Chain A
Amino acid sequence: MDRSEPPPEVAEGEDFGYRLFPERHSEAKLSFLTTSLFTFNHKCQVMLRIALDTNPYAQLLLDAMKQSGCTVYKDRHFACEDCDGCVSGGFDSATSQIVLCQNNIHQQSHMNRVVTHELIHAFDHCRAHVDWFKNVKHLACSEIRAANLSGDCSLVNEITRFKFGLKQHHQTCVRDRAIRSILAVRKVSKETAEKAVDEVFDSCFNDHEPFGRVPHSKSDAKYAYRDFQNRNRYYANL
């Protein structure tokens, strides 16, 4: 958030979703012993390292962010914390940090997906003037992109949520998850969230940066990474 701007007009009781991440506001730090014995912090750190080192979605996003001038450092830009509710992670634009909910992520595939999802928000923050706090359409756009490109809406994931559909179901899922994400972090009505998503859907659903395509699998992500690495040749010969 740009400090030179006046503070945003906020709805009464608006907390921008920070209630879901109690450690973000807590001054008290847990001791090393408490963290080691009573939280999933170490497991989160290990899974995060594996995701950053081996997952092609994450690797492409890290490269793209480096190219945009936002090199990501694990210790600076990621934080494993306990969160409330069922939330898996978040992007805190105030501190330029991705928060991973160590108490809610227990499988590597889930970690891969959350890291990708949040890196997409970070990528958007890096490459564009995204007004996270005042402009619901901007938030909606980033949530549409994150749901679309991270694998959140794969058929398998939808089936595990008991959401069944085939023809164009991906778009239904993206729309619904974007609305849910907005409602989780902003004190707006469902109608406001739905309207914002509908207004920006065409533009944001078809914005596939930095992948260039919707990566439905690691194989798709590897093709996308190959194209990204060859972009200089590509644009030089058009």
Chain B
Amino acid sequence: MSSMVLGSGSCATVSASSMADGGAWRPPRTCEDYWSEWKHCKGIRNFFHNYYTYGEVPSCEQWKIDYSNCRKWEKSKSPDAKESLCKSERARILEKQKYDPVWKLRKTPPRDWYLPLGQDKSK
């Protein structure tokens, strides 16, 4: 859907100079989002949904780790916290890219999407 655009605040910025760019980078999600994802993951509904979908219990620990790293970053701009967060989020993205796509993505939308009805019927 979106390509990874490495902006001035990206994880790729060298950690040693993170204080210099410290104003630019921030955690990919708000700390409240990490917390709510953890709570949602731990809940009984998600336990059931995960078992129903994947046949196993969900693993929620990483959200908690990410939340504490997020708070650590907010408090002290710790480069270790930033690196851990980046590593965790990139792992989530790589997990989604495990399989080759079935189709080729478009560069532009279909040209007949907005065509008035009646003008695009082939028969």
Contacts and interface: CB of A to CB of B under 8 A. Distances in A.
Interface of A: 1, 3, 64, 68-70, 76, 94-97, 124-131, 137-138, 141, 155, 166-171, 200, 202-204, 206-210, 214, 216-217, 219-220, 223, 226-227, 230-231, 233-238
Interface in B58-87: 86
Category for how many chain B residues contact A: 35 or more
30 contacts: A68-B109, A76-B114, A97-B117, A126-B110, A126-B113, A127-B105, A128-B101, A128-B104, A129-B106, A131-B103, A155-B52, A166-B52, A167-B52, A170-B52, A200-B102, A203-B100, A206-B98, A208-B96, A214-B49, A216-B49, A217-B49, A235-B2, A235-B3, A235-B4, A235-B5, A237-B26, A237-B27, A238-B10, A238-B90, A238-B93
A126 B109 CA distance: 5
A78 to B, nearest CB: 12
Contacts of A141: 102-103
Chain B contact surface mostly? loop
5 cross-chain pairs, A with B, having the tightest CB-CB distances, nearest first: A69-B109, A168-B55, A203-B99, A216-B49, A236-B7
Given A96-B112, A167-B55, A238 B106 contact: no
Interface of B: 1-7, 9-11, 25-30, 33, 36-37, 40, 45, 49, 51-55, 86, 89-90, 93, 96, 98-106, 108-110, 112-117, 120-122
A214 B105 CA distance: 21
B42 to A, nearest CB: 14
Given A94-B122, A171-B53, A236 B9 contact: yes
A207 B105 CA distance: 13
Nearest to A93: B110
Nearest to A154: B52
A204 B102 contact: yes
A202 B108 CA distance: 27
A150 to B, nearest CB: 14
A238 B11 contact: yes
Contact of B101 (A131, A207, A216, A237): A207
B10 A130 contact: no
B110 A125 contact: yes
Contacts of A200: 102
A170 B55 CA distance: 9
B59 to A, nearest CB: 14
